[in-house]
Amino acid sequence: MSVSVPAFEFVSAGRIVFGRGEALRRVPKAAKELGATSVLIVVGSSPTRAQPFADALQALGIATCFFSIGGAGEPTLDTAEAGLAAAKACNADLVISIGGGSAVDTGKAIAALRTQPEGLLAYMEVVGQGKPLVNRPVPFIAVPTTAGTGAEVTKNSVFDSPQANVKASIRSDWMVPTLAVVDPELTLGVPADVTAATGLDALTQCLEPYVCCAPNPMTDCLALEGLRRAARSLRRAYVDGGDVGAREDMCVASLFGGLSLANAKLGAVHGFAGPLGGMLHGPHGALCAAMLPAAMAVNVEALQAGGPACEPALQRFHTVAQVLTGRADATAQDGVAWIRDICAELRIPGLKAYGMTAERVPEAILKAGKSSSMKGNPVALSEQQMARILTLSM
C-alpha cells in the first residue's frame, strides 16, 4: 500500500564542502570567486585560529579585518550590532565566520544586516518588529569549528536579549550561507565538556526532526544517518578528542541535524531551550543535553497512553532506539535508557547548574508553550507533562 507523501520544501546553503583539510584550501579561493575586496572575519574569543585564513586572503589581494564575539555566554543583540558596525567600518563585501555556532549565527546576521535599510530590531522576531529582509545579504561563508548547532546550513540567527530575558531570531530564506565548509580537523581541539554538550545538541537536532509532527522523506534520511553516526562516535570523541574518525562522524551528525531542523520541525527540548536560554543565559547545547533524557521519556509515555492514533509517532521512537542501540528488537524505552546512560557517561549537568529552580518552572512553561519548536512536538504536552520534563532535568 502506498503512503501519501506530504508536500515539503528543502533549503540549504548554496554549496556545502565537507572534508578533512578542506577549509583553508577552499575558503580563500571561494572569496576570490565571489569578488570580495574586503572581508570581515567573525571569530570567537581569539582570532589566532583564523589568522591563516586572513593571511591567505591577503595574499590574494583581499583586505581583512576581525570581529570577536568574545568567549563568555551566548551572543546578544549588542554583539550583532557591534559586528555590523565593524563590517561597515571595513567596508566588508563578504563575511566569513570561523568558530562555533555563536560565531556562525553572528556572522550570518551581520551579512544579512549589511544590506538592509534599517537596524537589527526592525527584523528581529519577538523583541523587534519582525519585518522581512528587503535586500539580499552580502555573501556569507560559514566554517564551523564545533560539531553541534548545524548553523552553517540554517536560515536564522539566534541572539540573547538580556533585558527581556528571552532569546529571539532574525530569520529569512536569504540567510542560508553562500558556502558552508565543514572540516573535521578544525574540531580536534574542542574540550571534552564542549564536545559532550555540542554533540548531544547535534544528536537532538537529528532526533527531534525525525519524531516531530511534520517530518518529510528528505529529513528522515538525513536525521537517521546523523543519529547513526552520533551513536557510534560521540563517546569516542568525548574520550579521545584526537580521534579524527569520531570527529568526522560528529561533524556529519551536526551538519545533517542542521539540514533536518531547517526543513522539518523540532520538539520539546528546543521548545524549552530557547526560553531557558533567555532566562538562564546558559549555553544552548548544554541546556538541550540536560533536558533530552526527560523530554524523550515523557514523550514516549504520552504516546504510549495515546492509543492507536499515536502509534505511527511511537513507531518512530522505536526506530530511533534501534538506531541508537544497534539492536533490531530495541523499543522506545530502550532508546530512553540509552540516552540516559550516555548523558551520565558524558557528565551532563542538570538545569540547576545554570540556575534553574522550581519557582521558575511556571514561567518556563508559559514561554515554551508559545515557541514554534514546542508546536513541532509529536504530541501535545499538558502543563503537568511539561513541568515533569523540567523537574526531572534539574
Beta bridge partners of 95: 40, 140
pLDDT on residue 4: 75
> What single DSSP character describes residue 168?
E
pLDDT on residue 160: 86
pLDDT on residue 151: 94
* CATH tag, 16-187: 3.40.50.1970
pLDDT on residue 137: 97
Report the CATH fold assignment for 192-393: Dehydroquinate synthase-like, alpha domain (1.20.1090)
pLDDT on residue 2: 59
pLDDT on residue 311: 95
pLDDT on residue 241: 93
pLDDT on residue 363: 93
pLDDT on residue 121: 93
Positions of the chain with pLDDT lower than 70, given as ranges? 1-3, 71-73
pLDDT on residue 371: 86
**Pair type for strands 156-161 and 38-43:** unpaired
DSSP string, 110-151: HHHHTT-SS-GGGTBSSSS--PPP-SPPPPEEEEESSSS--G
Rounded CA separation 169/190 (Å): 26
> CB count, 10 Å around CB of 260?
32
Q: In the chain, where are the structural domains located? A: 16-187, 192-393
- pTM for the full model? 0.94
pLDDT digits (tens, 9 = 90+) for 245-266: 999 999 999 999 999 999 999 9
pLDDT on residue 240: 95
Rounded CA separation 356/207 (Å): 25
